[in-house]
Amino acid sequence: MKASLPFKYITAVKNGKYYVIFDFKDENGKRKRKWVKTDLPEKCSKKALNAKVDEIAEEFRKAFGGNTDTSSNTSANNSADASNANRELDNFFSVWLIAIKPNVARTTHQCYSRISKRFLNYINEKYPHITLGEITYTHIQEFLNYKLDQGIKGSSAKQYYLALHSAFAYAVKMDMLLIHPMDKLTVPRAERHEATFYNVDELNSLFKVFENDKLELIVHIAAYYGLRRCEILGLRWDAIDFKNKTLTVQRKIVSDYDENGEAKLFVENRLKTNSTRRTLPLIPHIEKMLLEKKKTEEHCRKICGKSFDTEFDGFICRDNLGCMISPNYVTQHFHYIINRNGMKHLRFHDLRHSCASLLLANDIPMKAIQEWLGHSNFSITANLYSHLEYNAKVTSAETIARVLGGENGKKSDNIKMKNDPPVDTGESFVSIL
């Protein structure tokens, strides 16, 4: 979209032909929109399109009765007015981050702030004093390519893309820009992530090394329920219904910096999606551990008296002095324990994947796993775990072999999937689920 002062206009394709769409106000101040046909096909050259658009815009200007110049085809024309044309990127991103803060989760705002800072550092170094109206998709593409050359994964590049897209979408919405500068951008392709996970034996070994550890309950909840780190820390006693045997995920704990720059823990009632807020059956093993935790907390509170920390009263995941366990401590201490005991390297978040893999291996439907994990849609679950549907793949192979191979209804004994994990049949973690 380019602009003159009395009207705005963009190009659009309809039925394989380019049109110029004018947005303006009539003499009564009523907003109007007019489509003007260019007669150019969708696959025409950029040079021909720009020339035609400038011609139509000039004709419209004359008919409109204005006297503004629309001939310039520079990136600076992507600005709603002169003040926004001269708005520095640093200023814009500051305004945007302040504006969205009440409407996004704290973790999302943290991510956007971090990406904005890295983008600005790159742009300010290569293009000093570039303004909002001058930014084009090539600048953003250069930045994304630069980050990819640095070695970031496709999934991280996609996060960068989504954050910047959100920022410039805000600029368009607030009439700071007339078109979105990323419309022509190639979306980074996120590589398919194959999650790392522990099998039944490895999980039972993990439980042993965390016996009597500060993270013991947290590790068990992560493995049994597949809850995210912040969701586990966000559990309060009022989320546990011992009478009806349910556990409800309804808040989270995140770390951030306060207005003084001090690290602090925050309670967030805004969860990732509506699906994240979910009520699950209370597993007997976890119920037993929770009751023991409750008894221990009451005992420690009596012993410590006024020294017992009450800042996060009501939350489950606290130490014996009442202090809240932080997300960073969970990550760091988990790594320390598994490394000290020579166990397979695993992120704490991979306990969530371990839970999903064991459910799949024991014929739990993918849809049920989606609801158990709190994914917003089925495709997320399917993309993450479809490669782990061992039994379904074996059944499919046996069926096609029987149908096409003339097996006369006999089950093929020699068809096995690579890395097909054993399904636990004894007393173990999976049998409880």
Note the pLDDT of residue 418: 40
Note the pLDDT of residue 401: 66
Summarize the confidence of residues 50-59 as an average pLDDT. 83
Share of the chain above pLDDT 70, in %: 76
Question: Considering the entire predicted model, what is its pTM?
Answer: 0.62
Note the pLDDT of residue 413: 47
User: Does residue 172 contact residue 179 with C-beta atoms inside 8 Å?
Assistant: yes
pLDDT surpassing 60 at residue 37? yes
Residue 385 in tokens: 């775990």
pLDDT band per the 50, 70, 90 thresholds, residue 2: very low
- Rounded to an integer, what distance in angstroms lies between the CA atom of residue 283 and that of residue 208? 19
Note the pLDDT of residue 192: 59
Range list of H helices, 68-127: 82-85, 89-100, 106-126
Note the pLDDT of residue 423: 41
- SS3 call for 317: coil
User: Does residue 66 contact residue 97 with C-beta atoms inside 8 Å?
Assistant: no
Would you say how long the chain is, in residues? 433
For residue 385, how many other CB atoms are within 10 A of its CB?
A: 22
Note the pLDDT of residue 393: 57
Instruction: Give the residue, 262 or 123, on which the prediction is more confident.
Output: 123
pLDDT surpassing 70 at residue 283? yes
Pick the CATH number of 200-347 from 1.10.443.10, 3.40.50.920, 2.50.20.10, 3.30.70.380: 1.10.443.10
| Residue whose token pair is 């590790």 | 219
Q: Lowest mean pLDDT: which of 33-42, 137-146, 152-161, 391-400?
A: 391-400
Residue 263 in tokens: 């690290």
Give the domain ranges of the chain: 2-73, 82-173, 200-347, 358-432
CATH of domain 82-173: 1.10.150
- What are the tens digits of pLDDT across the range 129-170? 888 888 888 899 999 989 988 888 877 888 899 999 999 999
DSSP 187-237: PPPPPPP------HHHHHHHHHHTTTSTTHHHHHHHHHH---HHHHHT-BG
pLDDT band per the 50, 70, 90 thresholds, residue 76: very low
- Rounded to an integer, what distance in angstroms lies between the CA atom of residue 292 and that of residue 101? 39
pLDDT surpassing 70 at residue 379? no
Nearest to 23 by CA among 178, 180, 182: 178
Q: Lowest mean pLDDT: which of 28-42, 346-360, 371-385?
A: 371-385
* Range from 8-22, 233-247, 361-375 that averages highest in pLDDT: 233-247
- What are the tens digits of pLDDT across the range 207-247? 999 999 999 999 999 999 999 999 999 999 999 999 999 99
Nearest to 319 by CA among 227, 213, 240, 234: 213
**Phi-psi group of 44: left, alpha or beta (phi > 0 → left; psi -120 to 50 → alpha; rest → beta):** beta
pLDDT surpassing 80 at residue 374? yes
Same fold for the pair 82-173 and 200-347: no
